[in-house]
Amino acid sequence: MERYVTLPGGEKVAALGQGTWFMGERRDRHADEVAAIRLGVELGMTLVDTAEMYGDGGAELMLGEALDGIRDEVFLVSKVYPQNAGFKGVQAACERSLKRMKTDRIDLYLLHWRGGTPFEETVRGFEALQEDGKIRNWGVSNMDTDDMEELLEAQGGENCTVNQILYNLTRRGPEYDLLPFQQKTEIPIMAYSPIEQGRLPRTGALAEIGAKHGVDPFTIALAWLLRRPDVIAIPKATNPDHVRTNRAAADIVLDAEDLAALDKAFPPPTRKRPLEML
């Protein structure tokens, strides 16, 4: 099953993509990482997320090889450090990322987290990159509701395309106010660490529902995220079996009984919690 999320500009992107955090750090894993990304794209996980921070540029270098010959099939996301998010800094950082990834454009460029640079200045840098064709869309990451409200009031802030946050079954805090706010403003969420970097329990409700659907418990955790039409999930995988386990989530539709069992095991928030980060 192909699942998509519609961005504010109308473009549709894969709801189940691929992350690259902790990739590009070890030469002995390079070939496996390249192969995993290419397999994921082949299986329809065509949104690929990275950042200049990952492996100190190593993940972007890895993607430069992984996307060779298939770049046009991929919706490529990268992120800029807050310390590089000034008007000129963001442009220089983007150029370095483009060079590492051997591409002429980034489809979505995100501010990795909030630093000391005013939003207006970063947005102005993003807009200059858009005018030059270096990036196609821009967004943010790790922004809570008050940050998003401030961003949307800044000049040009209404053009934000995505907010990438920590969101999974054990990190449901954003459901209290951030997700409703973004639903109202029609800005999708991109969920990083969607299986809590493998720390979600493999027993209990996830295991039972996985057995019912004939899939891995973590596949159910991903399918739970995909239940929402405004959430993009970006799990990481470095071997073929793991890639296929992730991909299976797009074919799972959880029923009301499944969702109730997951709510019981992983209760939704009843009050505001500060946005968590990893």
Known catalytic residue at 167: no
Tell me which DSSP letter residue 239 carries. S
Q: What distance in Å separates the CA atoms of residue 271 and residue 37, rounded to the nearest whole number?
A: 38
Q: Do the Cβ atoms of 38 and 70 come closer than 8 Å?
A: yes
User: Is 192 buried (19+), middle (13-18) or exposed (0-12) by CB count in 10 A?
Assistant: buried
Could you tell me which of 32, 37, 92 has the C-alpha nearest to residue 64?
37
Catalytic residue, candidates 54, 109, 167, 192: 54
Q: Which two tokens stand for residue 118?
A: 């005013």
Containing 66, the helix (H) or strand (E) segment is helix 58-66
Q: What distance in Å separates the CA atoms of residue 278 and residue 112, rounded to the nearest whole number?
A: 12
Residues 6+ apart with CB under 8 A from 131: none
Residues 6+ apart with CB under 8 A from 135: 94, 105, 106, 107, 108, 109, 126, 129
Please tell me the number of Cα atoms within 13 Å of 231 on its side-chain side: 23
Q: Which active-site residues does the annotation give?
A: 54
